[in-house]
Amino acid sequence: MDKKKTKINTPQTVTSYINGEWVEPKKSTHQLPIIHPANEAEVSILYEADAKEVKTAAKAAKKTFESGLWSKASVDDRKAVLLAIRDLILENQEEIAELEVMNTGVPIAQVCGRQIPRSAMNFEFFAEFISQASSPVFDQNPDYITYVRREPVGVAGLIAPWNAPMALATMKVAGAIAFGNSCVLKPSELTPLGFIPFMNLLSKAGLPDGVVNMVNGRGGVTGAAMTQEEDIDLIAFTGGTETGRLIASEAGKTLKKTVTELGGKSANIIFSDADFERALDAALVAIFSNNGQQCLAGSRILVEKPIAKEFKKRFVERVHNLKIGDPYDKNTEIGPLISRNQNERVASFADAAEQSKNTNILCGGKRPKAFEKGYYFEPTVVESSDNQSAICQEEIFGPFATILEFEGIEEALQITNDSKFGLVSYVWSTDVRKIMKAQADIRAGVVWVNTPLMRELRAPFGGYKNSGIGRDGGEWSRNLFTEEKTVSIPLKDFPIAKLGER
């Protein structure tokens, strides 16, 4: 990494944060290198939390929860702390952003423009939400009043991914603590660095120690211990579909509430009556932002036949112009992938495309020669005539667009729904009837009409099919992070059967 471009000091060790204190690194602990994906340099060392340390974190969270200090704090007090966390994230955004870039390789313009503001917004959103939320009262029966209380569940286990570490983890942390829970957060073992300044700012914001605890380590060790831990009451997970399956079945053994937000292979349908230029711009944003590593990527671009030739030509021209480079450079549009593994995974799909007779690589497909080091991969565009091919069915999670042609809405919808995933979808058309049919028939949790990437925090977000179970956002996060308690109180004395009286 070019030192001149960053002002921060990288933390040399990453440990757990329990009850308001950093755990001292121990030589005997299993250690993992933290790698900067742009130059493969080891920038820090993670000291992995084992099952015992996870238990300590869960116990600290439970103790704080039971103390009532936070779980029974007034909504106004909680709101003030959440807003202070928002302010401190914004005050420290430069440091957090630079650490995120060091970990993820996502271009700094995108981290500063989208992910850090979104992290701050997550706290503001839930601060506002809790101050307005109400619960139903049932007074239809004149002899009783019955109402519903919303109470925090207890200790939330939050397992976060590496693609947008801070933005995705803070959605979970903000939701959990807004409703009074304590939590144990596990960032991805690839991307813990930004959470170091984040943890430090929580107590400055006035959050009591032990409300947010963090453990670090591999999924199979630290994450698995969380899903098995008796003192953790719920799991909110974002990550891969296979991991989601494992987590849900493990968490089921101790009957934890579980929400999983998993992968996608989302269709971006462009009809020939669409605003061509806007659809083109948006198709590029939907697949190439975040280095293509996002669950809501528009990775299958379905183009109607009359405009397909022109669309492919223009799309490929633009892809050739994308600026690949150092993620700390403000002009960079595509940085390196997260890891060697992810780079090899993406390359394997390009190799498969090269072998297949149903697919044709229009550009990219290789590691760019300009970079000796770093997990860079050329932005890749492949056309396919078979939606069953691996590049149309599997989540590739990289700068890799697949283009399919279709004739008419029926075929577009058939291809869209011919997928084991169902997270989001995009529809581009100026014909309201076509739009209305598409939004009704698409089997996915979100339909974006004539827009890319519109995340409305008030609305539910989550997937159909293998894209997950449950939703987050406003009311849906409240459902996850609270228990409902029904209270009935009689308004007058009424006769009670006198059992045992002779």
Count of residues in contact with ligand TXE, rule CB under 6 A? 25
Q: Looking at 35, 85, 247, 409, which residue binds ligand TXE (CB under 6 A)?
A: 247
Which residues from 377-406 bind ligand TXE, rule CB under 6 A?
Answer: 395, 397
- 364, 379 Cβ separation under 8 angstroms: yes
Q: Looking at 224, 352, 361, 449, which residue binds ligand TXE (CB under 6 A)?
A: 224
- 375, 37 Cβ separation under 8 angstroms: yes
Q: Under the criterion CB under 6 A, does residue 455 sit at the interface with ligand TXE?
A: no
- 311, 278 Cβ separation under 8 angstroms: no
Report which of 331, 316, 287 is spatially closest to residue 453, judged by C-alpha positions.
Answer: 287
Q: Under the criterion CB under 6 A, does residue 463 sit at the interface with ligand TXE?
A: no
CB of 233 to ligand TXE, least distance (A): 16
Q: Under the criterion CB under 6 A, does residue 287 sit at the interface with ligand TXE?
A: no
Q: Under the criterion CB under 6 A, does residue 51 sit at the interface with ligand TXE?
A: no
- 35, 42 Cβ separation under 8 angstroms: yes
CB of 240 to ligand TXE, least distance (A): 2
**x/- letters, 249..268, toward ligand TXE (CB under 6 A):** ------------xxx-----
Report which of 209, 226, 256 is spatially closest to residue 55, judged by C-alpha positions.
Answer: 226
**Neighbour tally for 390: CB within 10 Å:** 16
Q: Looking at 55, 186, 367, 434, which residue binds ligand TXE (CB under 6 A)?
A: 186
Can you spell out the DSSP letters for 252-300? HHTT-EEEEE-----EEEE-TTS-HHHHHHHHHHHHHGGGG--TT---E
Q: Looking at 155, 295, 337, 401, which residue binds ligand TXE (CB under 6 A)?
A: 295
Which residues from 150-169 bind ligand TXE, rule CB under 6 A?
Answer: 159-161, 163
Tell me which of 112, 183, 295, 392 is the catalytic residue. 295
CB of 476 to ligand TXE, least distance (A): 16
Of the pair 180, 292, the CB lying nearest ligand TXE is at 292
Report which of 236, 219, 84 is spatially closest to residue 155, judged by C-alpha positions.
Answer: 236
Q: Under the criterion CB under 6 A, does residue 243 sit at the interface with ligand TXE?
A: yes
**CA distance from start to end of the chain:** 88
Size of the chain in residues: 502
**Neighbour tally for 457: CB within 10 Å:** 20
Examine the residue annotation and report whether 261 is marked as an active-site residue of this protein: yes
Of the pair 11, 292, the CB lying nearest ligand TXE is at 292
> Using CB atoms, what's the residue nearest to ligand TXE?
219
E strands within 368-501?
Answer: 380-384, 400-406, 421-422, 424-428, 446-449, 464-465, 468-469, 482-490
With CB under 6 A as the contact rule, which of the stretches 1-9, 217-225, 268-276, 432-440 interacts with ligand TXE?
Answer: 217-225
CB of 247 to ligand TXE, least distance (A): 5
Q: Under the criterion CB under 6 A, does residue 227 sit at the interface with ligand TXE?
A: yes
Task: Collapse the DSSP code of 324 into the 3-class scheme (helix H, G, I; strand E, B; otherwise coil) and give the result.
Answer: strand
Q: Under the criterion CB under 6 A, does residue 238 sit at the interface with ligand TXE?
A: yes
Separation of alpha carbons 57 and 65, rounded Å: 12
Catalytic residues: 261, 295
Binding residues vs ligand TXE (CB under 6 A): 159-161, 163, 186, 188-189, 218-220, 223-224, 227, 238-240, 243, 246-247, 261-263, 295, 395, 397
